[in-house]
């Protein structure tokens, strides 16, 4: 998982940070928009709970960089309580968190493209980054399902 931002252009709701979480196996991606970095621990905890309930499976491990949004008492306490191991990428080594770093780049490029297109066409609205990830996640899940049958 990684936090991207602050973005130069805020969303309609004033959110300027993007929390991106990617499942290593399926590459399914969760994208959450935040007003500040302080919201990250609560959002991460809610997504982890949602994943465990919906998939009826225990999350074993999460990986992130050393950002303060990931290294704090709230998140650390929850992870310890439920038995989730938290590993950190080496300092100044984004390659160790490469899957989510690449997804960040893809999302930002897709959002910029859609924003430029919407300005060109006179379309209003800013859910570009969120709509940019859905087709990619769904196609990866679909291809994963097809391979296992």
Give the model confidence (pLDDT) of 35-54 as tens digits. Answer: 999 999 999 999 999 999 99
Half-sphere exposure of 118 toward its Cβ, with a 13 Å CA cutoff? 13
Q: Is a pLDDT exceeding 60 seen at residue 88?
A: yes
5, with CB counted inside 10 A (0-12, 13-18, 19+), is: middle
| Burial class (CB within 10 angstroms; exposed 0-12, middle 13-18, buried 19+) of 140 | middle
pLDDT beyond 50 at 91 = yes
Three-state DSSP at 149 gives: coil
Domains of the chain: 2-148 (3.30.420.10)
pTM of the model: 0.79
Least confident among 75-84, 90-99, 107-116: 107-116
**How buried is residue 31: exposed, middle or buried, by Cβ count under 10 Å (0-12/13-18/19+)?**
buried
Torsion over CA: 78, 6, 118, 104 (sign): negative
Could you read off the pLDDT of 112-129 as tens digits, one per residue? Answer: 888 888 777 776 544 555
Between 125 and 15, name the one with better pLDDT: 15
Give the whole-number percent of the chain exceeding pLDDT 90: 62
């Amino acid at each position: 998982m990684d936090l991207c931002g602050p973005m130069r252009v805020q969303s309609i709701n004033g959110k300027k940070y993007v929390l991106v979480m990617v499942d290593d196996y399926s590459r399914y991606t969760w994208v959450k928009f935040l007003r500040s970095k302080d919201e990250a621990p609560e959002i991460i905890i809610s997504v982890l709970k949602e994943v465990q309930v919906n998939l009826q499976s225990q999350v074993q491990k999460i990986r992130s960089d050393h950002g303060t949004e990931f290294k704090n008492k709230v998140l650390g306490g929850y992870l310890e309580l439920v038995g989730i191991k938290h590993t950190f990428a080496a300092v100044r080594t984004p390659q160790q968190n490469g899957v989510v770093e690449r997804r960040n780049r893809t999302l930002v490029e897709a959002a910029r493209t859609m924003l430029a297109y919407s300005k060109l066409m006179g379309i209003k609205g800013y859910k570009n980054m969120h709509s940019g990830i859905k087709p990619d996640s769904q196609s990866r899940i679909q291809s994963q399902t097809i391979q296992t049958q």
